[in-house]
Structure 1
Amino acid sequence: MNSIRFGLAACTVAATAGALALVPASAGAEPVTPVPQLQVERYLGTWQQLAAIPQPFNLVCARDTRANYTLNPAGDITVRNSCTTWSGGPNEITGVAKVKDTATNAQLGVSFRGEADPRTNYVVTAVDPDYSWALVVNPERTSGFVLSRTAAVDAERWAEIRDAVAAAGVDSCLFLTSPNTGGYEEIVPLCTV
């Protein structure tokens, strides 16, 4: 039964990712708006992924997707992403994030391939005042992540998150929830949570 459920979930994720590839970014859309000021020191640490717009690189992840951010000696941010795969094993990748907009600190270029000057591909568009959750999208609105300090959030937080996704100009149905131990266990469109 579990292998059928995982197989169906993987097919759903793959189908959604394929459909997203067909949805072009709107040329006339307003630029993504970053938060007015991201306090990088408060943003560092470990985040759980609660939902994401599926991307080819994260289709291997079945559950417990995490991002850990630390400052490195060069003053950039070391990004360590990890998850549990569909076969139950670990998966991990490490990269670097560079702040591209020092006025807000909320627009970064994240690279897992060692580019010296990655383009802006990570915009923090919402962060809770206590830094308990955050929303990140790319400028084209084709990639996005809902991050939380905890694996579980209540109904009120889910509503705040959906409102933040809408404010960023993204359809919350494009995000799929990410199963987390101790949190939401299903893979469903965020608009249905």
Structure 2
Amino acid sequence: MAGSVMLAGCATFEKGPVGNTAVPQPAKTVDLDRYLGRWYEMGRYEAGFQKGCEAVTADYTLRDDGKIRVVNSCRKGSVDGKFSTATGKAKIVKDSGNAKLRVSFFGPFYGDYWVLDRAQDYSWAIVGEPSGRYLWMLSREAKPDPEVRAHIESRVKELGYDWSLVRLTKH
């Protein structure tokens, strides 16, 4: 499961600025059936593997082997730019309440993907990982209403993230 194009699977290879020096543990368990499906990236900490990406989506489906198929897509340069996609897999970390996953887009290399918080109705989620270098804000709608956006921003700050590092995604 993941927060956006190439996601945490690439976090193994790249190092951006630390935006949170004390990443909290996930706040809630995750009902995998409710988390699966399409997510739209509302914003992120910019990373090289997502540079210039707009109209970012992440689609999660359950595979026959119990892992999760991850398909991250974006448009390069603008919402009308060249379509780019990456397909990977994720596995749930044991005893994490389904809130921690390991995501891979490159063979045996996995990166952390933590669902730090989410709406009760699974309409939004905040995803990070232990280093504090990566952050994704996801919504079930491409353009959530301003009240939802403000709530997510507030929650991101409460979790200890530096909002000045956030890059909002255009859809």
Q: For this structure pair, what is the TM-score category when the shorter chain's length is used for normalisation?
A: 0.7 to 0.9
Structure 2 residues without counterparts, runs of 5 or longer: 1-14
Q: Is 2:87–2:105's contact at 8 Å kept on the other side of the alignment?
A: yes
Aligned partner of 1:163 among 151, 154, 157: 154
Matching of residue 58 in structure 1 with residue 50 in structure 2: yes
Aligned partner of 2:91 among 94, 98, 103: 98
- CA gap of 1:22–1:51, structure 2 versus 1, over 3 A, is closer
- CA gap of 1:38–1:89, structure 2 versus 1, over 3 A, is same
Q: Which has the higher contact order (CA 8 A, sep 6+)?
A: 2
Stretch moving more, 166-175 or 134-143? 166-175
Number of matched pairs: 155
Q: Is 1:48–1:149's contact at 8 Å kept on the other side of the alignment?
A: yes
Give the number of the structure whose residues are more often strand, by fraction. Answer: 2
**Paired residue type of 1:179:** K
**RMSD, matched Cα:** 1.9
Q: Is 1:35–1:104's contact at 8 Å kept on the other side of the alignment?
A: no
TM-score, length of structure 1 as denominator length: 0.74
1:20-169 pair list within 5 angstroms: 21-23=16-18, 26=21, 29=22, 31-61=23-53, 63-86=54-77, 88-115=81-108, 118-119=110-111, 121-169=112-160
What percent of counterpart residues are identical?
35
**Paired residue type of 2:82:** G
CA shift for structure 1 position 36: 2.4
Matching of residue 172 in structure 1 with residue 157 in structure 2: no
Q: Is 2:128–2:135's contact at 8 Å kept on the other side of the alignment?
A: yes
Larger radius of gyration: 1
Deviations 1:154-175 (A, max 9, x none): 2211121012212322112211
TM-score, length of structure 2 as denominator length: 0.83
